[in-house]
Amino acid sequence: MENIRIAEISIAVTRKTVKNFNLKVRIRDGTVAMSMPAAASLGEARAFAASRLDWLRRCLERARRLQAVPDLWARPLAYEDGAECWLWGRRFRLKLERMASPGFRVEPRARQIVLLLPADSAPALKQRMLEQCYARQLRIHASALLAQWSPLLGVQVTGLGIRRMQSRWGSCTPATGRIRLALELAKRRREALEYVVLHEMAHLLEPNHSPRFYAILDRHMPDWRSRRALRDRPLEDESG
């Protein structure tokens, strides 16, 4: 591992058997890492990082905000009956029910996420069931958004992946048309999810954060900046 510095930002660089440069900002601790092709030079790495300097600064500022007011997602969750959890920007409670086969259901009116579990289930199983619930909710809503935005943007999304992410809300592969979303988005308001979906779909038209990319956002979602702010701020229940 090597280190480079771009302006005020220190970046840990690792050479790998990859074709492209890749930057990651760890939101939890504000560190920056880059993977680069093994044959590339540090000068090329510096040039790539410099071209992403505005993006890096935005990510690091977001990291500082979230570290100042810790995000509820980062707090250990007590997987007990009545424990607080979140779905689509609203505070819910876990309800544990004993069942022979694991499962889950969402009861929006009661503000409950019900986990169906065998007696004396380990916390790891409870966590897995809750994450499956989030993933299902996210896939349902994201799939509807993809169907809505595809004809408007003129792009075809070939696959939707949902996974835990430490430093991003989403990613895409323009060459294949595949989009990935962070599992944590299920806890944010739906307006924030729609922004992230549009953001990643716009990258299928323009891979970089260029003026053309932001012009796509401005044209199709004029309020994208306020939606991005909803995505980034600490969770709070606004629904009463």
* 3-state DSSP of the chain: CEEEEECCEEEEEEEECCCCCEEEEECCCCEEEEEEECCCCHHHHHHHHHHCHHHHHHHHHHHHHHHHCCCHHHCCCCCCCCCEEEECCEEEEEEEEECCCCEEEEECCCCEEEEEECCCCCHHHHHHHHHHHHHHHHHHHHHHHHHHHHHHHCCCCCEEEEECCCCCCEEEECCCCEEEEEHHHHHCCHHHHHHHHHHHHHHHHCCCCCHHHHHHHHHHCCCHHHHHHHHHCCCCCCCC
- pLDDT, residue 220, reads 97
Across the chain, mean pLDDT equals: 88
Mean pLDDT of 78-104: 91
pLDDT of residue 66: 66
Confidence of residue 30 (pLDDT cuts 50, 70, 90): confident
More confident: 28 or 105:
105
Domain ranges for the chain: 2-68, 72-232
Q: What fold does the segment set 72-232 form as a domain?
A: Zincin-like (3.30.2010)
* Model confidence pLDDT, tens digit, residues 179-229: 999 999 999 999 999 999 999 999 999 988 888 999 999 999 999 999 998
For the chain, percent of residues with pLDDT exceeding 90 = 65
pLDDT per position as a tens digit, 46-86: 999 999 899 899 888 877 776 665 444 445 567 889 999 99
Least confident of 66-75, 93-102, 130-139: 66-75
